């Protein structure tokens, strides 16, 4: 048995809990001063003060890390990304810098369909190599579990290829990967002008194969003006729910369509983006426990207004934060950027930001019993920071202050 002892932790933030935290409870992160953690193999065995631990254990049983001068928090859960893709869209980004909008580019055949062409053309090995690199980078930012979406295939072969790449990475890379099927990400070229038929194709020909091969837990849809409407989203959700998938939705990002209301009505685990969500959508999510996953780096990259996190929390929603890393609307996986934007432009308190990136992120991917907090029995996914308090997280604007990552009880030093 491999034991690890983290002692003399200035601020041990446990985020204790087995459920998403909503409203005022997002402030409850449970800080232990002079904290101590004991891990055994890939699990947490003890959490308390260093004095309590010294009474209970002989510290010679394992490797001891003196965390004097450090705050310690749970590993980050990035619960919304599109990290498996071929090619890049730097030229489109340059067009956006000259004033073109994300939707302008999509209308002329760029955007998601540009990445679809490159992902269809990419060999599996190539996507695995890129995926490895990207997971390494996430781990460096303290991300110990990531959600990844398909949706750059829009055909059976490539959707399966993307999901198989994620499964392989989950099996081989230290970072845990939770997969989401996003067949209805855009209307495939072959189905141009025939969105309903494309949804039927996804439901009848692709989704059952994903299910049979056990390649995804979640099903997601890009519900947006000019992409898929509410009716199509509902049809897709019904079929996905019947097949046993948990549901997610890209909702009310650019235009207010009522995606949040639909998510709450259909019992979706999360509704994501929500820049233009309605008041009713917010109240429905709060009432039904649909997690509001906010993606500030995307709003930043698109020069859009930020989602109204403050109002959502004040109305009782459970908010999660994620990067949305993808080659188009958000070509960054930077957790420090997300923290800075949430603190400075979304008026979230640092405690709420930590909750949103840990236990609420975990809950958004159905892992709240396994990860997202530091407590006995959960996975030993832990971050040691370079500074003694969580106040240094928003203060170090855009700077990674993760000193060491403990993943499955193994230490990785930055
Ligand atoms: O590739 O542009 N919004 N999906 C929905 C994306 C952005 C990813 C992309
Ligand atoms: Zn997305």
Name which residue sits closest to atom 6 of ligand 1, judged by CA: 329
For 175-240, the three-class secondary structure string (H helix, E strand, C coil) is CEEEEEECCCCCCCHHHCCCHHHHHHHHHHHHHHHHHHCCCCCEEEEEECCCCECHHHHHHHHHHH
Query: Which ligand has an atom closest to residue 302 CA?
Result: 1
Give the atom of ligand 1 at the shortest distance from the alpha carbon of 298: 7
- Determine the distance separating the centroid of ligand 2 and the alpha carbon of 292, expressed in angstroms: 13
- Determine the distance separating the centroid of ligand 2 and the alpha carbon of 325, expressed in angstroms: 8
Burial readout 229-238 (b: 16 or more C-beta within 10 A, e: otherwise): beebbebbbe
pTM (whole model) above 0.75: yes
The tens place of each residue's pLDDT in the chain, 414 residues long, gives 999 999 999 999 999 999 999 999 999 999 999 999 999 999 999 999 999 999 999 999 999 999 999 999 999 999 999 999 999 999 999 999 999 999 899 888 899 999 999 999 999 999 999 999 999 999 999 999 999 999 999 999 999 999 999 999 999 999 999 999 999 999 999 999 999 999 999 999 999 999 999 999 999 999 999 999 999 999 999 999 999 999 999 999 999 999 999 999 999 999 999 999 999 999 999 999 999 999 999 999 999 999 999 999 999 999 999 999 999 999 999 999 999 999 999 999 999 999 999 999 999 999 999 999 999 999 999 999 999 999 999 999 999 999 999 999 999 988
H-helix segments, 61-190? 90-97, 102-107, 112-121, 124-140, 156-172
How many alpha carbons lie under 13 Å from residue 375 in its C-beta half-sphere? 16
Query: Which ligand has an atom closest to residue 301 CA?
Result: 1
- Determine the distance separating the centroid of ligand 1 and the alpha carbon of 327, expressed in angstroms: 8
- Determine the distance separating the centroid of ligand 1 and the alpha carbon of 331, expressed in angstroms: 10
Q: What is the pLDDT of residues 306-342, one digit of tens each?
A: 999 999 999 999 999 999 999 999 999 999 999 999 9
Name which residue sits closest to atom 9 of ligand 1, judged by CA: 328
Query: Which ligand has an atom closest to residue 149 CA?
Result: 2
Name which residue sits closest to atom 2 of ligand 1, judged by CA: 328
Query: Ligand 1 pocket: which residues have CB below 6 Å?
Result: 82, 111-112, 115, 222, 250, 326-329
């Amino acid at each position: 048995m491999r034991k690890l002892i983290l002692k003399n932790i200035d601020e041990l933030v446990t985020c204790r809990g087995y459920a998403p935290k909503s409203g005022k409870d997002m402030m409850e992160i449970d800080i232990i001063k002079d904290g101590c953690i004991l891990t055994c193999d890939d699990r947490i065995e003890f959490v308390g003060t260093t004095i309590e631990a010294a009474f209970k254990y002989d510290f010679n049983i394992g490797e001891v890390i003196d965390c004097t001068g450090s705050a310690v928090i749970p590993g980050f859960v990035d619960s919304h990304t599109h990290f498996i893709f071929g090619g890049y869209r730097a030229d489109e980004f340059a067009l956006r810098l000259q004033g073109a909008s994300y939707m302008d580019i999509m209308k002329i055949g760029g955007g998601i369909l540009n990445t679809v062409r490159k992902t269809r053309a990419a060999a599996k090995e190539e996507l695995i190599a890129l995926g490895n690199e990207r997971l390494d980078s996430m781990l460096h930012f303290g991300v110990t579990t990531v959600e990844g979406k398909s949706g750059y295939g829009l055909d059976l072969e490539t959707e399966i290829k993307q999901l198989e790449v994620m499964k392989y990475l989950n099996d081989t890379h230290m970072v845990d990967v939770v997969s989401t099927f996003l067949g209805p990400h855009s209307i495939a070229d072959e189905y141009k002008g025939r969105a309903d038929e494309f949804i039927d194709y996804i439901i009848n020909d692709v989704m059952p194969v994903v299910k049979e091969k056990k390649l995804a837990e979640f099903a997601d849809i890009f519900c947006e003006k000019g992409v898929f409407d509410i009716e199509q989203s509902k049809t897709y959700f019904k079929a996905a729910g019947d097949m046993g998938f948990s549901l997610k939705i890209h909702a009310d990002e650019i235009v207010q369509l009522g995606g949040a209301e639909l998510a709450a009505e259909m019992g979706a685990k999360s509704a994501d983006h929500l820049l233009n969500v309605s008041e009713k959508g917010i109240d429905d999510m709060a009432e039904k426990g649909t997690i509001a996953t906010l993606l500030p780096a995307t709003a930043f990259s698109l020069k859009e207004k930020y989602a109204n996190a403050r109002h959502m929390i004040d109305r009782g929603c459970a908010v999660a934060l994620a990067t949305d890393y993808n080659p188009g609307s958000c070509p960054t996986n930077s957790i420090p950027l997300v923290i800075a934007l949430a603190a400075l432009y979304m008026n979230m308190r640092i405690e709420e930001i930590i909750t949103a990136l840990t236990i609420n992120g975990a809950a958004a991917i159905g892992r709240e019993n396994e990860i997202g907090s530091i407590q006995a029995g959960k996975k030993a996914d832990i971050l040691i920071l370079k500074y003694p308090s969580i106040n240094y997280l928003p203060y170090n604007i855009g700077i990674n202050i993760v000193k060491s990552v403990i993943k499955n009880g193994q230490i990785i030093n930055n």
